[in-house]
Amino acid sequence: MPQVDKPKLETVNNYFIGTFRLYDEQTGKIYDFQANKAFTYDYKQKFPPLKVDEWSFDVFTAQIEDYFTNKHLKEILYPQKIGNTNKYKIITKKLGEKKIDKAKFKNELMNRVRIADYTPLKVPFINNEQIDSNILKNEVVLFSSYTTKYNAYDTGRTSNIVLAGEEINGTKLAPNEQFKYNTRIAPIYPHLRTAKVILNNKFVEGTGGGLCQVSTTLFNATLESGLQIDHRRCHTLPVHYVPRGRDAMVSDYNDFVFRNNFPHDIYITYQRTANDEITFNIYGNREDKKNIKIWTSGGGLSYVLYRAIEGSTVEEKFYSNYQTPSN
């Protein structure tokens, strides 16, 4: 008669799951982790196998990492490529933060639970010194940020604004690379909706209403960052979402164009808030950040917008000459 192997019991302690005392040699800190919050046995089976609740394990692992991480570490911003696209998002990271080797940690905990070994356990942190070094080389800082408010109840206009903003979001510009607004948002043209536009000195319904608010918000962010403005025109009529003299009109026959005149890459992000606002942020290398002075003069229908950039003797001027609305 062939011999039948008996199933092995998972633990020597009647399926007990207790608390592990975790420690970090570098800091000397300890942390008591109640393993039964993430591990359990499947008691529906005759010989219950040990199971792990992956969601709970991830939550508690993050809590352990946070506990052992120095709260006073330097935080930096750095660009991270989004999948296989040419777009980037800006990530906040603490240099020297503790990151656990999750696979190793989970296996060690499961093995110890099975044999009821609750001696102090050294947390298997990943050595991320090289990772931090590489990230630090790509650190960016915020150059400028500009926000305008829109009417969310105007659904056609809101849709156009969101489409254009998202199309620009994550843009990276290499040194001397030019940004042409109309070319950049061309992929959204088939999806544009009807909203108010300016035509023949009147506000009328037309395709693409709202695109000028996006170009205007972006113009002001680029203006305050020190980027080179290659082409900008005002509207024929003043608009409500920026002070007079600070708008940038776009249309089939007019574009808004600027250039990365810095030695390093720059990154543009867009966000929309629950307060019915859109914001463009521009990030770049700390060495390229400039002090910018901007002011406006004029009144009535004529204005001049001035920009003075640290280190430059040139005082830039952007002219705005509006017209009287047609009846």
- Mean pLDDT, the chain, integer: 91
> What pLDDT shows up at residue 284?
98
* Residue 13 pLDDT level (bands cut at 50, 70, 90): low
> What pLDDT shows up at residue 15?
77
Contacts of 159 (CB under 8 A, 6+ apart): 193, 210
Q: Strand 121-122 relative to strand 19-23: parallel, antiparallel, unpaired?
A: parallel
Chain centre to alpha carbon of residue 32: 34
Query: How large is the average pLDDT for residues 89-108?
Result: 90
Question: Hey, what are 132's tokens?
Answer: 């931090």
Q: Is the pTM of this model over 0.85?
A: no
DSSP 3-state of 201: coil
| pLDDT at residue 320 tops 80 | yes
Q: How many C-beta atoms surround the C-beta of residue 22 within 10 A?
A: 20
Quick: pLDDT tens for 260-313: 999 999 999 999 998 899 999 999 999 999 999 999 999 999 999 999 999 888
Higher per-residue pLDDT: 321 or 311 = 321
> What pLDDT shows up at residue 46?
77
Q: How many C-beta atoms surround the C-beta of residue 301 within 10 A?
A: 13
Higher per-residue pLDDT: 259 or 205 = 259
Question: Hey, what are 261's tokens?
Answer: 């005149």
Q: How many C-beta atoms surround the C-beta of residue 77 within 10 A?
A: 16
Higher per-residue pLDDT: 12 or 215 = 215
What are the residue boundaries of the structural domains of the chain, listed by start?
19-73+98-126, 143-321
* Residue 141 pLDDT level (bands cut at 50, 70, 90): very high
Q: What percent of the chain stands above pLDDT 90?
A: 73
* Residue 44 pLDDT level (bands cut at 50, 70, 90): confident
**CB distance 178 to 230 below 8 Å:** yes
> What pLDDT shows up at residue 301?
95
Query: How large is the average pLDDT for residues 180-185?
Result: 97
Q: Strand 257-259 relative to strand 228-231: parallel, antiparallel, unpaired?
A: antiparallel
Residue 142 identity (one-letter amino acid): L
Query: How large is the average pLDDT for residues 182-193?
Result: 97
> What pLDDT shows up at residue 269?
98
**CB distance 212 to 250 below 8 Å:** yes
Q: Cα(11)–Cα(295) distance, rounded to whole angstroms? A: 74
Higher per-residue pLDDT: 290 or 47 = 290
H/E segment holding residue 154: none
